[in-house]
């Protein structure tokens, strides 16, 4: 597959998660909620977690933002379900490395859609958009 075809595929994956987000919504009960915003662009994310001990049993998000920010939140919520908090935090660390251009094995994420966000590392102004939900998730341990 050519580089251009791969870029087109990645854009399609991002737009699919943006237009048809997975796990978008809220829980009705007293779930753990974390809010975070990106003051430079106005993106805002609200994450809700259902934890069973240290395992992320379920996760939802709401918020406003650009396609990259909301697609990343959608991908992240899929990737961390069923993982322990430590595993989710390790995934966040790998994602952050990928966003600054470091070589990362995307299979470590357990969700190949995340690979579609690799190209964001070429646009430094958009990195904060892609990492917003992940940085918010890191607060779950605090």
Q: Please report, for residues 9, 25, 121, 131, 133, the alpha-carbon distance to residue 96 in angstroms, rounded to integers and kept in the order given.
A: 22, 25, 10, 7, 11
CA 90 to centroid of chain Cα atoms: 13
Give residue-wise pLDDT tens across range 101-114.
Answer: 888 877 766 657 88
pLDDT in tens, 59-116: 999 999 999 999 999 999 999 999 999 999 999 999 999 999 888 877 766 657 888 8
Note the helical H segments in 39-140. 67-80, 85-99, 124-138
Q: Which domains does the chain have, with CATH numbers?
A: 3-141 (3.90.1010.10)
């Amino acid at each position: 597959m050519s580089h251009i075809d791969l870029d087109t595929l990645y854009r399609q994956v991002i737009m699919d998660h943006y237009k048809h987000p997975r796990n978008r919504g809220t829980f009705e009960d007293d779930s753990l909620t974390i809010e975070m915003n990106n003051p430079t662009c106005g993106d805002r994310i609200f994450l809700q977690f259902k934890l069973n001990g240290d395992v992320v049993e379920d996760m939802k998000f709401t918020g406003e933002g650009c396609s990259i920010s909301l697609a990343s939140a959608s991908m992240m919520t899929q990737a961390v379900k069923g993982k322990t908090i430590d595993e989710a935090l390790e995934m966040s660390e790998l994602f952050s490395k990928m966003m600054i251009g470091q070589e990362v094995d995307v299979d470590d994420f357990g969700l190949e859609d995340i690979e579609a966000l690799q190209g964001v590392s070429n646009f430094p102004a958009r990195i904060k958009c892609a990492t917003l939900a992940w940085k918010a998730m890191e607060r779950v341990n605090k």
